[in-house]
Every structure is written in structure tokens, then in C-alpha cells.
Amino acid sequence: MSLTKDLEKIKKSALAAIGGADSTDRLEEIKVAYLGRKGELTAFLKNISSLPAAEKPKAGKAANEVKLAIESALAEKSAGLSSNEMERLLETKALDTSLPGRIPSVGGRHVLTQIVDEIVGIFLGLGYKVAEGPEVELDWYNFEALNMPPEHPARSLQDTLYVNAGREAVLRTHTSPVQVRVMEKQKPPVYVIAPGRVFRRDVTDPTHSPMFHQIEGFAVDRNVNFGHLIGTLETFIHQLFGTERRVRLRPHFFPYTEPSAEVDVSCIACGGKGCRVCGHNGWLEILGCGMIDPNVFKNVGYDPEEYSGFAFGMGVERIAMLRYGISDIRLFFENDIRFLRQFT
């Protein structure tokens, strides 16, 4: 049989099979049978290489024409079958195309992320820069450089998660190590805000978690005093909680600041009148602060006679709980969509 007759036979057989196909699945089988790797036309094309050189161009051209004819017939038949199958599907499934569509749910930023971004945004507006540090921290940065000697109770195994037996590295217990790292690399003036995760050996309950978030802020310059600290914190609190909030400072002790204080705001729930939320005293504690201890300056190479500065730190979860009246810190980490969607 000649090449022309072989090709004509393949073409006629393929077109007949395509014309008789009653589904897209059957059409795919036909495509494979003729155009697949082991298909009839593919096998013919492979045999062209064995023909005499004079016959190869003619045979190749004829084979390509047959291939194009089969592909065109497949495409035309596929369009018709797809339309018919869709009509049958609509009839059998009784799909009501007049029903309104379902709007997909849209995600949003976590409430803690929103609070962090808002706090950072306030301090960026005050001229601060953002800095970050490692969560696995060296003992020097987490304790020693911050004026916390080896016998300090915060360094005990009851409070701190150590990474190795020698206690040279810890999961940082606060974001204050960022303060030391920044001051080691940068000369004053320094105005920095440092958000991040911290870790404590705490048992999970409604008000404690072994992992939570803190934001450390500090400023170092010439002639910085406690009045600058109070003014900064009052500005921050009024922007975050509203100008009607009253602010008070109570004397406290932190090893890396002297003098130190804890900062309270008038109760968000009762406005300072006294209620269950504030323990009926009208105030809520939100952060700790103080003037940076001269020993910390010495550890980073600053001259405490030339420079002074203040630092403050706050828990993000505590801020969020006070702001939104949330009674259980565990809700932030349980991924309950009913809780999270309230803040999107």
C-alpha cells in the first residue's frame, strides 16, 4: 500500500471515530489513539525517517496535513460536546442560576498584629525607628548587660527557658536585649521602638502564657530627663486610648532603670470610677518605665556623664485585653475564627 493510501486510511478512520464520539472522555481516547506517543499517525511519522531522501519531503507534508485535519476535527467536536455536556449537567443537577453567589470570606490581620502596628505607628510619628533582635538570645544581652547579675532571681530555671545546659543562651525573656544591641552599634542620639515575641516559664492560664509579645522603647541623648519620659508616655497613651484617659506613675524597681515606675491609666471600663475590671480602684496598669541605669550605659560604651536616656516596655496582649475587654489571653492563640473575625 502506498504512503498516500496509508495516510488517507488513517485520516478517514480518525474522522469517523471523532464524528461518532458522544463524550469528551471518548474524544480524549481517540486523540491518544491517533496522536499520542503510540498513536497510528505518530508511528507513521516515525517511519518517515526510513524512506528514501527523495520521498521524505512529500511524505512529511502529507502527514502534517492529516495531523492538522485530525486536530481541527477534535477541536470542533470538543466544543460541541462540552456545550452539550454542560446543558445536560444543568438539567440533571437542577442548578438555579438565579440564586445569588456566595461571597468568599476574606481574611484579616490578627488583633495582636493590629495593636503592634498601631503602637509602632504612634512612635514612628514621634520620630522613633523600629529595631528587631534574635529570639534566641545570649545571656549577656538578656541579663548581664542589663544590670542583672548571676544571682538575680529572674535568671532562675523557674522563670527562664534556657537553650543549653551551660545557660549561655536563652529564649529571650523580654525585648530589652534589643536596647543593648542597638546601643552597641549606634552612638547617640538613639530613639528606637522594638516589638517582638518573648518567652517565660509560665503555666498557661487566663492571664499568663509561656509565649507573648512585648514592645520595648528607649531614647538616649544629651540632657534627657524624667519629664521627657512622662511627656512621651502621656502622648502615646492619649493617642492609643483617647485624650480622656488620665495617667499616673507609681514608684517601682527594675534592675536596668533608675529611677523606675509603673504606669497606670484610668480604667477604660468605668472611666476611673471603680469597677470589677479595675478592682474598684479606678486604675489599670499598662507598662513599666524608667531612666536607663548608668551601668547599662557603661556596658555598651556610653559615657553616663555625657548621655542620659529612658526606657519603657509593655505587653501587647495586656494592651489588647484592656482595650477590648478580653478576659482570657488564651483566646489570642486558639485560632477560633468566631473570636478573630470580630477584629477584621
Instruction: Give the tens place of pLDDT for each residue, 159-174.
Output: 889 998 788 899 999 9
d(CA 27, CA 263): 76
Tell me what the mean pLDDT of segment 252-257 comes to. Answer: 93
The pLDDT score that the predictor gives to residue 58 is 79
Which residue carries 537553650 as its cell? 163
Band of pLDDT at residue 290, cut at 50, 70 and 90: very high
| DSSP secondary structure letter of residue 13 | H
Given this model, what pLDDT does residue 1 score?
A: 44
The set of cell numbers assigned to 95 is 442548578
- Enter the pTM of the model: 0.69
Query: How many Å apart are CA 143 and CA 112, to the nearest integer?
Result: 27
What does the buried/exposed string (b/e) look like for 304-320 if buried means 16 or more CB atoms within 10 Å of the residue's CB?
A: eeebbbbbbbbbbbbbb
Burial 273-298 (b: 16+ CB within 10 A, else e): eeeeebeeebbbebbbbbbbbbebbe
Name the average pLDDT for the chain: 88
Specify the residue for cell string 543593648: 180
Full set of structural domains in the chain with CATH: 3-93 (1.20.58), 111-343 (3.30.930.10)
pLDDT tens digits for 82-107? 777 777 766 666 667 788 888 887 88
